[in-house]
Amino acid sequence: MDMQLLSSKLDEVLHRFATRNEKSDNTDAAAAAATTSGGDGSDSDALFSDVTFLIQCVEEMTTSVKETGNSPPVKTLEELRVLGSVCWNMTVRHSSREDGVEEQKLRASLRDFATRAFLLGNYAYSGKNVCHSYFTQHPREAEQCVVMCLKTSRDLSLCGIINNAKELLSVGEVIASYISAGVKNSLTHLKHRNISWEFAYTNMDILWNVGNYRESCQAAEKLTQMLLKDSSLQREHRETFFRFVFTIGNGSVPLSEESYIRTMLNYSIEVQNHFKLTGTKDPEHHLIMLRGSTLEQMALSCLREGNAKDAVPWAESADTLLHSTTSSLLRLKVTAESGMEREAILLLHEYVQRSDVSVDEAVAACFELHKLLKNARDGIIEGMQLLYFKVKDSTLGEYVAFRFIQLLLHDGSLVSCKRALEILKNEGINFEDTKSRRYCFIWLWELSENTDFTRSEILQCLETALRFKECASESEINILQLRLCAEYISHYEESHYTNALTNAKDILLKLTEKKLQCIFTHSLLFKIAVLESQETEVENELKSLMKCEPVEMVGSALCSAINYSLKCNYLHGVSLAASYALFSSSTFLDAPSELEVLRVYVASLLSNTCTCSDEQLRVLVERFRSLISDQSATISLTHDEVIWWAQAFLLVGSEFTDGPGHTSVSAFSAATLTVMCDPNPGNELSKSLLCASILCTLDDEFQLFITGRPCMELCDLNDRLQLCKKNFSTLSSRESRIILLLSEAESHLREPSSETTDKIDTIIKELTLVPAAFEDYEGLADGASFIASQFTTEHAFLHGIVMKLYMQAVRVVINTGSLFMVLSGDKDEESANCITDTLLCLYKSFLLAFDRTEQMVVVQQLIELLSLTIEEVTITAFIKRCHADSMWSVITNSMSYMVLFLEYFAVESWNNSVFYMHLADTTKQKEWAQIAWVLVNVLPETNNVASALLALKSIIPL
């Protein structure tokens, strides 16, 4: 490269190098530079790149000289010397205030260029003869070259540029060999310097800086021998060596290379031992400080490698020499890490009581040892306690107390935690520092969670924590107070300490003033009301719970209220809370919780601790069915649960509903559904309960059918019938067989078809064989009557079925009346009721008759009934006796209805007789007339209808 261009390029680089700090000081300019050129980082990279280019130019010129053996022109050499000097001086004058890595590398590169240019300009790269001749003639230039090589090589080594550093050091060493001893004394920079020492030391320094630790130690060994044997070396050489070793002893290397630091330290100790024996003019305390520091570094090096036992003798020796807080602390740490716990505790106790150890250092030592020692932590706590007693009455007492508590809690043992609580509770420490108060608040709160604490100690934790409540948020205080109230309640449960409830109630009432709808507050107030057996308060708190927020938690709170009432055996609270949970808008967390609440409520109902309307029972049953239905499949019941629920619903349906109705049918259906969920369906008890639940369902459903308002869908009714037939091929009891037959009849009647008449006839035959009672036929006839009224034209044959059923009921009375009626004695009213019911069936049959022929069949049954003899007394005689005994005025409406029906049939018989008289059908006219006079004779003599018919007879003889 042309020298003019090289000089111009260097000027530009040096200008930028010199003005780089000015740019960084001007923030506006820096911002502008960042916008236009990518910022200061880009400038540094560009500058470093230009310096590298300059070095390459000089290297190319150097290579050319080495290869050709021809030196550049004298003018070029002069220019190179000038460029090198200028560049070097610039690096001296313009050092950055920030000695960062990039700055060091930039300055070292500029010095690399300066040194190379200056060496090239002074024939350093020419042939050996030329070089030797030149530097022999120019010792001052040789001196400058040597100094520049020494400094630059070290700078390059610090930046990791090892090859350039070694090359320059080698060149400098060659040039130094050309300076004779006589000439050296006349040189300014070298006359007081040992050149061989300088190069050996620099070589050691460079090798260490670039990570060649092994070679550096070899160089150090050479220097050590020089110090031991060369008496011409001055004190400053020795101190330089000591300083270098001390510096690397405080530094760090990869753990695998740690042994090299100890090698260096051993060399330092060897030199120290030599001069201690030979004697020096150094002050005694300087030697002690140097040796003690070196021994400390040896101990620390062993510790870094994990060899604590090897470090112990070094640390002991260092402490013996120095007696400083640092050496004592090091010895303490080394002893602890080596496993000598007893010795470490003794050293700690001595250390914390030293007057020259600060409180912070003593506290830090206690915490450090607490991490290291596992089996002697009690001794560490004793050490901290010694420190606390030492400064207790001073301004530092509060701080040490805080740290002592912190150590105790960090220790975590039950004894330590109790000791911390004792200090906070009894020492009267309030801590002025807000942070300390905050920590104490949190610590005490967490300490109250210690499961090994007694209830009293937990209360002490919470009560003491509230002393520091001003450093807590309102929500934290509320939570803590709620926890305290919960503990008060538990304390009362255990010891019946009345003040505990009073304290809890006072706090909770204040909380309700601040937050009326807090679910936790009212839950605790509910517990207090339960413990005090205040029924009014219990209900008020349950009402308050219903208004609390969040709404999603109300269900859980009610479940908790139920559990607590059960725990206290307070059944009123159990039933009340369960009713609120079930019959309100509250939601449950999960299906099992809802099922348990249902079970509790049903148990309360069965034990008569609460009352429940039919509507509420229906809601209850539906909730249960939704939980176990096949569609939802949210819950699987065990065998024992199935038995319990089935029996419960059978009891509910039969004992706690308003008679047969929708609710009872729903309850019995739920019992059936429950048994069908039994995981052990073959169990005899399960089979029995299934049969009972189905029959109860069918029975109550039939009772509703009788009144014309059936509850079950026809498909459900048929399913129950099929289930019963499938599982119970034969039913032993008469009642069961009757229920099944009546339900089958209901099924056929509710879905009439051409086969209905035959099927009903078959059922009637089967009922006759059972046999069925009057009430069974009457009820079936009533139900069929309602169905017939719905199909007046479409299924007219239903009216005939109804009439047939009523007549069958009458036939049962005629055939078996002697079994259940007594016409003489003290059961006149019951007999009158039975006769009236039978007459009602005849009346309904008469109305349903298609013509007078069928009506004649009905009245013939009536005459047969009246002639029925029971224990030698006919029904006719019974009616007349009742009249003779003046019972009409005192007997219930049954007697009046009985006479009314007889009057009706008498009048209708007369009318039919008149009808056939007009038709000149003498036979039928006489039949009807005969029946009319029979009925008139049964009626009392004073009866108006009888009197009227007798009067008509005299006018129209029939």
CB contact at 8 A, 194 and 232: yes
Other Cβ atoms within 10 Å of 162 Cβ, number: 17
651 vs 632: which has the higher pLDDT: 651
pLDDT given for residue 532 in this prediction = 92
Other Cβ atoms within 10 Å of 755 Cβ, number: 10
- The whole-model pTM stands at 0.65
Q: Which of 529, 520, 438 lies closest to 479, judged by CA?
A: 520
Q: The tokens of 405 are what?
A: 């508590």
High-pLDDT (> 90) share of the chain, %: 48
CB contact at 8 A, 606 and 652: yes
Q: Which of 277, 274, 271 lies closest to 294, judged by CA?
A: 271
Distance in angstroms (rounded) separating the CA atoms of residues 724 and 538: 47
Q: Is the pLDDT assigned to residue 32 strictly greater than 50?
A: no
DSSP letter at 791?
Answer: -
pLDDT given for residue 25 in this prediction = 54
Mean pLDDT of 531-543: 93
pLDDT given for residue 567 in this prediction = 93
Which of 267-281, 450-464, 577-591, 655-669 is least confident? Answer: 267-281
Mean pLDDT of 349-368: 92
CB contact at 8 A, 84 and 57: no
Mean pLDDT of 450-477: 90
pLDDT given for residue 31 in this prediction = 44
Q: Is the pLDDT assigned to residue 708 strictly greater than 70?
A: yes
- Rounded to the nearest 10 degrees, the angle between the axes of helix 3-25 and helix 101-121 is 160
All residues at 6 or more sequence positions from 196 whose CB lies less than 8 Å from its CB, including other chains: 226
All residues at 6 or more sequence positions from 748 whose CB lies less than 8 Å from its CB, including other chains: 755, 756, 759, 760, 763
* Whole-Å CA distances, 830 to 758, 764, 888: 35, 26, 14
Distance in angstroms (rounded) separating the CA atoms of residues 241 and 201: 8
Residue 101: Cβ-neighbour burial (10 angstroms; 0-12, 13-18, 19+): exposed
228 vs 700: which has the higher pLDDT: 700
Distance in angstroms (rounded) separating the CA atoms of residues 943 and 2: 159
pLDDT given for residue 188 in this prediction = 65
610 vs 730: which has the higher pLDDT: 610
Mean pLDDT of 256-260: 92
Distance in angstroms (rounded) separating the CA atoms of residues 11 and 5: 10
Distance in angstroms (rounded) separating the CA atoms of residues 936 and 927: 14
DSSP 3-state assignment of 454?
A: coil
Q: Is the pLDDT assigned to residue 29 strictly greater than 60?
A: no
745-797 per-position pLDDT tens digit: 999 999 999 899 999 999 999 999 999 999 999 999 999 999 998 887 778 88
- Rounded to the nearest 10 degrees, the angle between the axes of helix 235-250 and helix 284-304 is 30
Distance in angstroms (rounded) separating the CA atoms of residues 92 and 18: 11
Q: Which of 617, 615, 536, 521 lies closest to 573, judged by CA?
A: 536
High-pLDDT (> 70) share of the chain, %: 92
Phi, psi of 99 (to 5 degrees): -90, 60
388-397 per-position pLDDT tens digit: 889 888 888 8
What is the distance of C-alpha 89 from the center of its chain?
71
Q: Is the pLDDT assigned to residue 66 strictly greater than 90?
A: no
Mean pLDDT of 312-327: 92
Mean pLDDT of 223-252: 86
Q: Which of 510, 555, 561 lies closest to 539, judged by CA?
A: 561
**623: phi > 0 → left, psi -120 to 50 → alpha, else beta; which?**
alpha
Q: Is the pLDDT assigned to residue 377 strictly greater than 50?
A: yes
The band of 892, judged by pLDDT with boundaries at 50, 70 and 90, is: low
Q: The tokens of 733 are what?
A: 């009891």
387 vs 816: which has the higher pLDDT: 387
Residue 918: Cβ-neighbour burial (10 angstroms; 0-12, 13-18, 19+): exposed
Mean pLDDT of the chain: 87
Residue 852: Cβ-neighbour burial (10 angstroms; 0-12, 13-18, 19+): middle
87-140 per-position pLDDT tens digit: 999 988 876 655 678 888 889 899 999 999 998 888 888 888 888 888 888 888
Which of 106-110, 450-454, 653-657, 953-957 is least confident? Answer: 953-957
684-698 per-position pLDDT tens digit: 899 899 999 999 999
Distance in angstroms (rounded) separating the CA atoms of residues 733 and 731: 6
Q: Tell me which amino acid residue 7 is.
A: S
CB contact at 8 A, 542 and 561: yes
Distance in angstroms (rounded) separating the CA atoms of residues 334 and 599: 68
588-635 per-position pLDDT tens digit: 878 888 899 999 999 999 998 888 889 999 999 998 988 887 555 568
Sign, CA torsion 782/784/787/793:
negative
Mean pLDDT of 491-519: 89
All residues at 6 or more sequence positions from 21 whose CB lies less than 8 Å from its CB, including other chains: 94, 96, 97
- Helix, strand and coil content of the chain, in percent to the nearest 5, comes to 75, 0, 20
Distance in angstroms (rounded) separating the CA atoms of residues 937 and 958: 16
pLDDT given for residue 817 in this prediction = 74
Q: Tell me which amino acid residue 13 is.
A: V
Q: The tokens of 473 are what?
A: 């948020």
The band of 33, judged by pLDDT with boundaries at 50, 70 and 90, is: very low
Q: The tokens of 250 are what?
A: 């405080």
DSSP letter at 340?
Answer: -
Per-residue b or e along 329-338, where b marks 16 or more CB atoms closer than 10 Å to that residue's CB: bbbbbbbbbb
CB contact at 8 A, 783 and 749: yes
pLDDT given for residue 30 in this prediction = 43
838-874 per-position pLDDT tens digit: 999 999 999 999 999 999 999 999 999 999 988 788 8
* Whole-Å CA distances, 214 to 250, 263, 267, 481, 892: 18, 10, 14, 68, 129
CB contact at 8 A, 582 and 559: no
Distance in angstroms (rounded) separating the CA atoms of residues 182 and 184: 5
Which of 307-321, 366-380, 526-540, 809-823 is least confident? Answer: 809-823
